[in-house]
Amino acid sequence: MAIEIKEIKRVFLFDGLSLDDPNPSFTETQVLEFYSNTYPEMNVGYISARETNVATGELELTIEVSVGSKG
C-alpha cells in the first residue's frame, strides 16, 4: 500500500465569508495584508482559530478583528 501525500489547502473564514488562499507561500500575516485592500478592518485582524475540516481536507483559519477604543 502506497502512502499518498496531499497538500492541505488553506481557507480563510472572515465575517461569514470563505476566502481562498491568495498564495500558498504567503504567511498568515501576508494573507491578512493582501485582503486588507478589500477588507480594511483586516489591518487589525488576527487568526483566532485553526481547524482541519475532515470532510473537505481543508485547513480553516478564522480571522477575527481587534476592536478597541481610543483614549
Q: CA 16, CA 26: separation in Å to the nearest integer?
A: 22
Within-domain flag for 2: no
Cell of 1: 500500500
Cell of 5: 501525500
pLDDT tens figures, 2-33 = 888 877 899 999 999 999 999 999 999 999 99
The model carries a pTM of 0.81
Within-domain flag for 27: yes
Within-domain flag for 24: yes
Query: What separation, in Å, do the N-terminal and C-terminal C-alpha atoms of the chain show?
Result: 63
Q: CA 57, CA 6: separation in Å to the nearest integer?
A: 9
Within-domain flag for 47: yes
The whole-number pLDDT of residue 18 equals 95
The whole-number pLDDT of residue 49 equals 92
Within-domain flag for 4: no
Within-domain flag for 29: yes
Please give the residue range of the domain that contains residue 43. Answer: 9-65
Nearest to 33 by CA among 43, 23, 25: 43
The whole-number pLDDT of residue 67 equals 75
Whether the pLDDT of residue 70 is over 90: the answer is: no
pLDDT over 90 for what percent of the chain? 73
Within-domain flag for 13: yes
